[in-house]
A and B are shown apart, each in its own frame.
Chain A
Amino acid sequence: MNVTITVNGTPITADVADRTLLVQFLREAGGLTATNVGCDTTSCGACTVLLDGESVKSCTVLAAQVDGSAVTTLEGLASPDGQMHPVQRAFHAEHALQCGFCTPGMVMAAVSLLAENPDPTQDEVRAGLEGNLCRGTGYHHIVRAVLAAARAGREPA
């Protein structure tokens, strides 16, 4: 079927099989490969993107289901002049990654979390990221980065 999804502000239209998953649409029709497939069973969160501003696991959403909606991937976070998003900057500054495979999903989940709760406690950050697995960092630096991004978001620029 013909599906149009506005990805990072740009409409992408493609004629895809009805069973096409959103993550395939993004990677194959959109050529946007930051969104990773880790487990493919809705467990790891590596494929997390924002659907109308909220985190979802794109391996468990059909492209057809979100026809006409707006999706944001990691590629869409930085500003047009290349300035990184505050959450990206915080991940960089706090060294919140080792191999980096979970990072795109982790960053998108963090952006969604901070949109819902701009001033989370450490426990709220951990609960907010429970859908995202990381096998390297042990999570401490990730949690620190999200708290730092929240702090940065509260300080006047």
Chain B
Amino acid sequence: MIPAPFTYRRAGTVAEALEMAAESGEDAKYLAGGHSLLPLMKLRLAVPEVLIDIGRLREAAYVRDEGGHIAIGALTRHHDLATSGLLASRVPLLAYAAGCVGDPQVRHRGTIGGSLAHGDPAADLPAVILALDATLVAQGPGGTREIAAADFFQGLYETALAPGELLTEIRVKRPESAGWSFQKFTKRAIDWAIVGVAAQGDRVALVNMGMTPMRAVAVEQALAAGLAPEQAASHAADGTSPPEDINATAAYRQHLARVLVGRALAQARARG
């Protein structure tokens, strides 16, 4: 299986990538690690006319301590997140979850920026970014802007990024509450989450429970109202409309969400 024909261009800098996107117009796509886009192109579910390879933008691959926050370049690979000492000590939720993405080969190629920009509700890192209440930095022809994680995911495979806009950085403030947990329920280690839960303190987000990665708002409200974690977890499926597929019915996913949020809150508290 090979993708439909396209023109390959490689950007050497962020500025060059933006220029190429402006020149190439609507039918161009950025290519980061290619581990969401190339499989879709091989199945002809995506047929971009131009691919702008941003995979070699070393200037956008880093994990840095900026004092008030940790800055993560969008081109940082899952493998580099999972093995970052700085993340392990400051944002262990992200380091751990990145190590749960796919398999070693996928983690050697896939990037955090690609994972977020793809906007897949079944992906792991979007929920983590929501639980961390991170800020995303995007660069476009009009300049640079910041987008709150809570405003980033807008629909199935839809994000707040404008056409041609490049996600460049993810900023994570030191979590107010140190306790964290990442629960990923799969049939086999390599699989995507049937349901997943990311928790940082009392902030909780869900994987694969609807059209977008989402915060478990009802759980957070219940905790804020003083309910015990076990009671709060019983609200995990409130307001969700999870998909039905070969792995699970919607009702089973809702059951899993309640069980996994319960486990996540217990683990986060034990670590807090």
Interface residues of A (CB under 8 A from B): 1, 17-21, 24, 40-43, 45, 48, 51, 54-57, 60-62, 64-65, 67, 109, 112-113, 127-128, 130-132
Contact = CB atoms under 8 A, between A and B. Distances in A.
Q: Which 7 A-B pairs have the closest CB atoms?
A: A131-B103, A18-B8, A130-B189, A131-B105, A54-B108, A64-B8, A57-B105
B39 A60 contact: yes
Interface in B152-177: none
Interface of B: 1-8, 10, 31, 34-35, 38-39, 42-43, 51, 53, 55, 79, 102-106, 108-109, 188-190
B8 A113 contact: no
Contact of A19 (B4, B35, B104): B4
Contact of B104 (A1, A24, A62, A113): A113
Contacts of B31: 62, 65
A26 B8 CA distance: 19
Given A43-B190, A61-B109, A130-B188, 6 more contacts: A42-B39, A55-B104, A112-B108, A130-B103, A131-B103, A131-B190
B215 to A, nearest CB: 29
Instruction: Find the residue from A20, A24, A56, A109 having the highest chain B CB count within 10 A.
Output: A56
B105 A55 contact: yes
A65 to B, nearest CB: 6
A131 B106 contact: yes
A62 B33 CA distance: 10
A113 B79 CA distance: 12
B8 A55 contact: no
B8 A1 contact: yes
Contact of B3 (A19, A55, A65, A112): A19
A112 B108 CA distance: 11
A132 B55 CA distance: 24
B138 to A, nearest CB: 23
Given A60-B35, A62-B38, A65-B55, A18 B6 contact: yes
A22 to B, nearest CB: 11
B100 to A, nearest CB: 10
Contacts of B109: 56-57, 60-61
B106 A18 contact: no
Contacts of A48: 105
